[in-house]
Amino acid sequence: MAPHLRLAHTADLEPAELRSVRALLNDAFDGDFSEGDWDHGLGGMHVLLHDDAGLAAHGAVVMRRVRHRGRWLRTGYAEAVAVRADVRRTGLGGRVMAELERVIDRAYDLGALSASDEGALLYTARGWQRWSGQVHVLSPDGIVRLPEEEGGVYVRPALAGPLDPAHDLVLDWRDGDVT
């Protein structure tokens, strides 16, 4: 069977589907996908790709706010993107990202994500741009620079138009890893 794609909000996923997604993420990230990471991928739209063996790939887009040049942009933040080990490098990650990008491009001012070095290859091949400017977060203590995150944030200027790296990105606060 050709992989079957499904787009659904978190609220429309059955508990068994959520368990399958969580298991895929645990396997794909070698057990290094924390409860905080899991929480960040909930509450938005999920792309699930199933094949004969079950869930083959997943990605989610959740809404965040990112300030750039004094304007808070409605941002589709890509989270929890993973492909099962036995079907990696077969185009499934690209199919997941194409659907996430469709949602981002039509519903958000900006697309953003934080990528590992390995994951960055997929995103840059799809036109995502590594953010070369400063990255900050609006923390409970005010705006704090995140130099350790700089170079790992990628953007997709959807409706917002071009971004200027001379001006920083300020991400909204969330518990756990803020990017």
Amino acid 55: pLDDT: 98
Residue 21 pLDDT more than 90?
A: yes
Match domain 4-171 to its CATH number in 2.60.40.1180, 3.40.50.10490, 1.25.40.10, 3.40.630.30: 3.40.630.30
What is the spatial distance between Cα 162 and Cα 151, in angstroms, rounded to a whole number?
18
pLDDT in tens, 37-85: 999 999 999 999 999 999 999 999 999 999 999 999 999 999 999 999 9
Pairing of strands 45-51, 129-130: unpaired
**Mean pLDDT, range 135-164, rounded to an integer:** 91
Amino acid 159: pLDDT: 72
Amino acid 130: pLDDT: 95
Residue 27 CA from chain centroid, whole number: 18
